[in-house]
Amino acid sequence: MFELLTEKLSKVFNNLKGRGRLSEKDIQDALKQIRLALLEADVNYKVVKDFLEGIKERAVGQEVLESLSPGHQVVKVVNEGLIKLLGEGKQDLVFEGKSPFSLMLVGLQGSGKTTTAGKLSNYLRKNGRRPYLVPVDTQRPAAIEQLLKIGQEINIPVYPSKNTDRPEDICVKAMEVAVKNGSDILIIDTAGRLHINEELMEELSAIKKRIKPTEVLLVADAMTGQDAVNLAQKFNEEIDITGVILTKMEGDARGGAALSIMSVTNKPVKFIGTGEQLNALEPFYPDRMSSRILGMGDILSLIDKAQSEFDQKEAIKLSKKLGKAEFDLEDFKKQLSYIHKMGSMEEILAMIPGVGKMIKAGGVKADERELVRVEAIINSMTADERKDYRMINGSRRKRIAFGSGTRVEDVNRLLKNFAQTKNMLKKFRSGKKKGFQSMFDLN
């Protein structure tokens, strides 16, 4: 899914993330490349244009240019734009009023409609519903046979439609049986044709009028890209759909249909089909899709977290102190408290793609106790001691250890580490001055 787009975008972002400062031109260039990547992914031309207009102002604004890690900020802005494009939140099926409900699946032949009817009934049963299936393609007995077979396979009842009845009459009869059976949702697998034609639309409208389904979902093949988008638009104009199910997403390296449908039709993608098996159906989560497209795991939440806990003004003050070698134990403590505020070390590590798994497997153990210990030791020092660690002699060390419930060795180790850090900073200043920026770069 989305592999081509992910590959192209990650090249653009890697280029940005490696740098501490970005100029407006750097970002403009990146936006151009993002535009190309989206067009190559077969995203609708107008959608791409609107998308870039929507994020441009923020991407080249102060928020990004003055941030501590501008490359990551650009990713964040793009991510928020993508989520919007994909339809904001997850769109659940609407079941309003009294049961039994009915749901119509519409679409062209070969799009995966019958398979999806099976998948959806399976999914709904797992979520506590009692579905009943009805095939109504009276011109294609094979389609009726296919749904009966699927029903048998997953043990869900199917109405034995007769191809001599009119489709809307079949639905009414099936609904009566559904009620008798105690089913609470009728899933209608409507006729599929190779192309949209008037006869098909009339048939679908007649069913819709009689049955009044709470959901009319278009099943479309994601691999057909913009054809799927045009199809959605046409079906929406003709019979007013409530959403889309995109099938064969696992084979769609580009993702143009998924990224365009919401903007073009104003109807959400509600599910995606990800394989031929009857359990290969997933609700569509715009935020997770976007993370997937950006190849980022949950790292975006981590950036958010770091952003919200990190006081930028405080950081600038700290940066000035570093420049003058004024960095003392009080500042050191402040830095530790930032790390602390962001959550437990393990929680933070778990958000980094790949690391979460290692933690679960027991490979990584973050020593949070050490952080607590260091903070306690600094808390037991006087203000003067924090300002100038060199005054902390043997008897002071003993007192601090006692006050913080630690051992003298712990105090010694902390002071040694701090002295080394200060030394390193001194070298930084006299050397090629890489800047404070790099210390907070999330890379």
Backbone angles phi, psi at 101, to 5 degrees: -100, 165
Ranges within 197-256 binding ligand GDP (CB under 6 A): 247-248, 250-251
Strand pairing category for 281-283 and 269-273:
antiparallel
> Total residues at the site for ligand GDP (CB under 6 A)?
18
Which residue in 141, 55, 76 sits closest to 303, CA to CA? 76
Give the Cα separation of 2 and 23 in Å (integer).
29
Query: Rounded distance, CA 13 to CA 10, Å?
Result: 5
Q: Is 24 in the site for ligand GDP (CB under 6 A)?
A: no
**Binding residue for ligand GDP (CB under 6 A) from 113, 129, 208, 397?**
113
Handedness of CA 166, 172, 178, 183 (dihedral sign): positive
Between 1 and 37, whose beta carbon lies closer to ligand GDP?
1
Are the CB atoms for 2 and 259 separated by under 8 Å?
A: no
Closest distance between ligand GDP and the C-beta of residue 206, in Å? Answer: 20
Pick one of 44, 69, 114, 224: the residue that binds ligand GDP (CB under 6 A): 114
Question: 7 vs 276, which CB is nearer to ligand GDP?
Answer: 276
CA 387 to mean position of chain CA atoms: 45
Identify which of residues 111 and 242 has a Cβ nearer to ligand GDP in the complex.
111
d(CA 141, CA 133): 16
Centre a 10 Å sphere on the Cβ of residue 22 and count the other Cβ atoms it contains. 22
Interface residue with ligand GDP among 115, 138, 291, 380 (CB under 6 A) is 115
Identity at 224, one-letter amino acid code: T
Assess contact for 113 and 189: CB atoms under 8 A.
yes
Q: What is the DSSP letter of 19?
A: -
Residue 294 beta carbon to ligand GDP: minimum distance, rounded to whole angstroms = 23
Question: Looking at beta carbons only, is 106 or 306 nearer to ligand GDP?
Answer: 106
Single residue of 15, 33, 99, 109 touching ligand GDP by CB under 6 A: 109
Residue nearest to ligand GDP (CB): 273
Identify residues 272-301 at the interface with ligand GDP (CB under 6 A): 273-276, 280
Location of structure tokens 């797992």: 126
Where helices occur in 361-393 by DSSP H, the ranges are: 368-379, 383-387
Among 112, 213, 225, 286, binds ligand GDP (CB under 6 A): 112
Residue 1 CB: number of other CB atoms within 10 A?
A: 18
CB of 262 to ligand GDP, least distance (A): 19
Closest approach, Cβ 192 to ligand GDP, in A, equals: 5
Of the pair 38, 136, the CB lying nearest ligand GDP is at 136
Looking at the Cβ atoms of 142 and 361, the one nearer to ligand GDP is 142
Q: Which chain residues interact with ligand GDP by CB under 6 A?
A: 107, 109-115, 192, 247-248, 250-251, 273-276, 280
